[in-house]
Chain A
């Protein structure tokens, strides 16, 4: 293939995929209007996405808060602005790092397992079997995962934000001898409601992104075990790239 053909080929593939994701999202939303909603499956997935992701998310957030405190101390020390460490840590966590890092971790943990589970069910004809047993596979498999991921991601992000600020506190107070009261004061003083909202909105969007991509990759999977592996890889890579790209546009949009 020459360069032009290559560009055309990849553009076409990217648009086709985006179309599949949009179609999946539309089909599931349309189904939400009427029962059955399978509340037990939603709970099961919520536990899978939310509770099971906690250790990974907590650890990530804690160390991110810690390194943020350390880095800002190194810089702020040069012009005696160490009192602002708390503000830097909390604002960066809430606005940016909380949602993005949680989303990336969940994409790796949950997006991949959505793709692998649904992909395995597709290639072993379990999805077809659901249909022949009068059960709509999109309702039974995809809808609960979409709802659970979209609801759980904001909760995870709130927990992560809190832990990040705590990590920053531990470093600046425990290691860098900063005043604890000042850290707490500065970390809340500059925080506005909009900062919170923007973080939560991002989290909701990322949850949707991860689950739609993971489920679609699995649902349309073909070609045996190899196909399942491919679907899983695609789900993680595409979700991570989409998170980072859309994060910029969401920030720009909410800033403007």
Chain B
């Protein structure tokens, strides 16, 4: 058995007294496409942000190819981001830059030649099915186009681990399927290790080798896409079938409140 590409050990993260992750364990093997599912606000994005170093966990360890990522200094973390790609939920394109500079951003920051970076951006944009938009500004694009430009930006520097935060949320079903296919194809062609988070079960079943359910701060259960509709775990059943009643209690007031910062 080979070593996991990403290994998360006893990860805990809380905001004030709101516990989001609690002793979470998860292994992702090289070339595996892992999908974490769970309700909105359960902590899926927090999980990814902890791995990326965007949030500091309160406890636990994160290993990538056996290296302890939480021990790195900020500068070392930035260097390690070379092997990481990330597609944000809202695409997070830089509005002040044209599409091609968005896509080639990581290359340009590393001092790549402008002409080469541009050519590479064109290549990747064609790969995601958006040739010829290099000169457009992000505001000129539709939501689905932004997602694909964000996708192109996430893979342009050839990372070997890619994260997808709700890749199909907020776009129409047909565009969602385009994105799902792109993720599958990426996985097939380049053997990239993928971690996606979503509450869209159709998408999860299409893009995942393994589906893990996040519940009460932990990975509650791991299954294959085929087991999604047959597994008998009550928590998973409730989520898959979409009942308001069941073991999953709706959290009230768990959402973040910024009201206390309201006045100056």
Q: What residues of chain A have their CB less than 8 Å away from a CB belonging to chain B? A: 124-126, 128-129, 131-136, 222-223, 226-227, 230, 233-234, 237-238
In the complex, the chain A residue whose C-beta lies closest to that of B85 is: A132
Indicate whether B54 reaches chain A with its CB closer than 8 angstroms. yes
**Smallest beta-carbon distance B210→chain A, Å:** 23
Q: Which residues of A contact B264 (CB under 8 A)?
A: 230, 233-234, 237-238
**Smallest beta-carbon distance A180→chain B, Å:** 48
B52:A132 contact, CB within 8 angstroms:
yes
Indicate whether B250 reaches chain A with its CB closer than 8 angstroms. no
Q: Which residues of B contact A233 (CB under 8 A)?
A: 264
Q: What residues of chain B have their CB less than 8 Å away from a CB belonging to chain A? A: 49, 52-54, 74, 78-79, 81-82, 84-86, 88-90, 92-95, 105-106, 109-110, 153, 157, 256, 258, 261-262, 264
| Known interface pairs A126-B94, A135-B105, A136-B78; 16 further A-B residue pairs with C-beta atoms within 8 A, sorted by A's residue number | A125-B89, A126-B95, A128-B88, A129-B93, A129-B153, A131-B52, A131-B53, A131-B78, A132-B81, A132-B86, A134-B82, A134-B110, A226-B258, A227-B258, A230-B262, A233-B264
Q: Which residues of B contact A230 (CB under 8 A)?
A: 261-262, 264
**Smallest beta-carbon distance B4→chain A, Å:** 21
**Smallest beta-carbon distance B185→chain A, Å:** 22
Q: Which residues of B contact A238 (CB under 8 A)?
A: 264
Q: Which residues of B contact A222 (CB under 8 A)?
A: 256, 258, 261
Q: Which residues of B contact A124 (CB under 8 A)?
A: 90, 92
B78:A125 contact, CB within 8 angstroms:
no
**Smallest beta-carbon distance A111→chain B, Å:** 13
* 3 tightest A-B CB contacts, nearest first: A223-B258, A125-B92, A129-B92
Q: Determine which of A126, A135, A223 lies in contact with B78 in the assembled complex, contact meaning CB atoms within 8 Å.
A: A135
B262:A125 contact, CB within 8 angstroms:
no
Q: Which residues of A contact B78 (CB under 8 A)?
A: 131, 134-136
A134:B106 contact, CB within 8 angstroms:
yes
Q: A227-B258, A234-B264, A238-B264 are in contact. Are A129 and B109 (CB under 8 A)?
A: no
Q: Which residues of A contact B262 (CB under 8 A)?
A: 230
Q: Which residues of A contact B157 (CB under 8 A)?
A: 133
Q: Which residues of B contact A134 (CB under 8 A)?
A: 78-79, 81-82, 106, 109-110
Q: Which residues of A contact B52 (CB under 8 A)?
A: 128, 131-132
Q: Which residues of A contact B74 (CB under 8 A)?
A: 136
In the complex, the chain B residue whose C-beta lies closest to that of A140 is: B109
**Smallest beta-carbon distance A231→chain B, Å:** 9
**Smallest beta-carbon distance B263→chain A, Å:** 9
B54:A131 contact, CB within 8 angstroms:
yes
Complex CA gap A227/B54 in Å reads 20
Q: Which residues of A contact B153 (CB under 8 A)?
A: 129, 133
Q: Which residues of B contact A237 (CB under 8 A)?
A: 264
In the complex, the chain A residue whose C-beta lies closest to that of B153 is: A133
Q: Which residues of A contact B81 (CB under 8 A)?
A: 131-134
Complex CA gap A238/B261 in Å reads 14
Can you list 22 residue pairs at the A/B interface with Cβ under 8 Å?
A124-B92, A125-B88, A125-B89, A125-B90, A125-B92, A126-B93, A129-B88, A129-B93, A129-B153, A131-B52, A131-B54, A133-B81, A133-B153, A134-B81, A134-B82, A134-B106, A135-B106, A223-B258, A223-B261, A230-B261, A233-B264, A238-B264
**Smallest beta-carbon distance A51→chain B, Å:** 18
**Smallest beta-carbon distance A243→chain B, Å:** 15
Q: Which residues of B contact A126 (CB under 8 A)?
A: 92-95
Q: Which residues of B contact A133 (CB under 8 A)?
A: 81, 105-106, 109, 153, 157
In the complex, the chain A residue whose C-beta lies closest to that of B107 is: A133
Complex CA gap A125/B53 in Å reads 14
Complex CA gap A222/B53 in Å reads 18
Complex CA gap A224/B176 in Å reads 25
**Smallest beta-carbon distance B102→chain A, Å:** 9
